[in-house]
Amino acid sequence: MSFRRPTLLVCESEFDGEMDAAMKLVKRGVRVCVGGLLFAQILAGCSTPQPSGNGPPPRARSDARPSGAASSSVRAFDAGEGVAVPMTVAPGRYANTVTISVGVTREGTNVESTSAKSSFALMLNVDQTATACRGQRVDSNLDGRRVHNSIRYRERQGYAGTWRQHDDGIEVTLQPDDAVCPPLRRYTDLAPKPWRLRCRSVMRLGSLALGSPALACEVGNAEFQFDEQYAHVLAHILPEGRWLALGSGNGLAIAWNESGVGLHTDQKATVTVSLATTPFDTNAWEK
C-alpha cells in the first residue's frame, strides 16, 4: 500500500474543533476546514482514488467501515446457546432492509445527523447462479458554528454471479449487472465493484431466534473505490465483526440507532433485528 501527502486548498468555512478531530472526520470522507484550509479527499492517507465533490457521508462509523479486506475465511462466532446452525445453505431469496438513525454531538459544537435506509436482496438459484440488487438513500448533515456540510445521494445497483458451498457456508461472487435492476449511480466517475461474500447459515441474530435460517455474510473485497458497504454491513449484528445479515422468507428488518457525545458513539449504537411482516421489493430503500 502506498501513501500520499494531504492536499490543501483554500476554502471559506471553518471547523470548530481540535486538529485530530478534524483528521478523524477527513478520514471518513467529510470535507472540513481548519485554519482556513480544506483538507481535500484524504482517506486514511491511502492512494485509493477518491470521488470528486461530496465523498461518503458522515456515517455511523462501525457499521460500514471495513478495516481493509475481510478475513479470507469466515470467522467463528456465537450463534446463540443451544441454537443449531445448519451446515448447508439452501437456495432461495435472502433479503433485508436497514434503517440508520444518527444524532450525535462531535467535538466542540458540531452536530452530526444522518437518516439513511438501504435494502439488499440476494437470490440463490438451484443451478448455483445468483443475482442481487442493493439500494440506499442517505441524507446527512454536519453542522457547527463554522462548518455546514450536507450530503444527499441515492444509489441502486444490480449484480449477477455464482454461488457454491464451501466448508461450513457458501461463497458468493457477484459482478455488477445493470440488467438485474436499473442502475442509479452515486458518482459519475466511479463505478461499483464486484462483491465477494462468505456466508454462514444462522438460526439466531442477537436475541432474535429465527424460524428459518438467515445468512450472516462477510464481505471479502478490498478494491472498492468508495464505501459501497455503508448501511449494508453492520457491527453489533453478531458478537464480533461486521456482517451483512439477510433473512429468508420475508427477510429481516434491521434498525441502527446512534446517539451521544464524542467520536466513538458507534460503539454503543443500538441495533435491532426483527422479521419483516411482509415481503419487500428491491426498491424498499426508497420508502
pLDDT of amino acid 130: 98
pLDDT of amino acid 196: 96
Are 116 and 137 in contact, with CB atoms under 8 Å apart?
Answer: yes
Model confidence, pTM: 0.71
What confidence category does residue 17 fall into, taking pLDDT thresholds of 50, 70 and 90? Answer: very low
Does position 260 have pLDDT exceeding 60, yes or no?
A: yes
For 172: left if phi > 0, alpha if psi spans -120 to 50, otherwise beta; the answer is beta
* Element spanning 157, H or E: strand 148-166
Q: How many residues does the chain have?
A: 287
> What is the b/e burial string over 81-118, where b = at least 16 CB atoms within 10 angstroms of the residue's CB?
eeeebeeebeeebbbbbbbbbbebebbeebebebebbb
Are 8 and 38 in contact, with CB atoms under 8 Å apart?
Answer: yes
> What is the b/e burial string over 268-278, where b = at least 16 CB atoms within 10 angstroms of the residue's CB?
ebebebebbee
129-171 pLDDT, tens digit each: 999 999 999 999 988 888 888 989 999 999 999 999 987 799 9
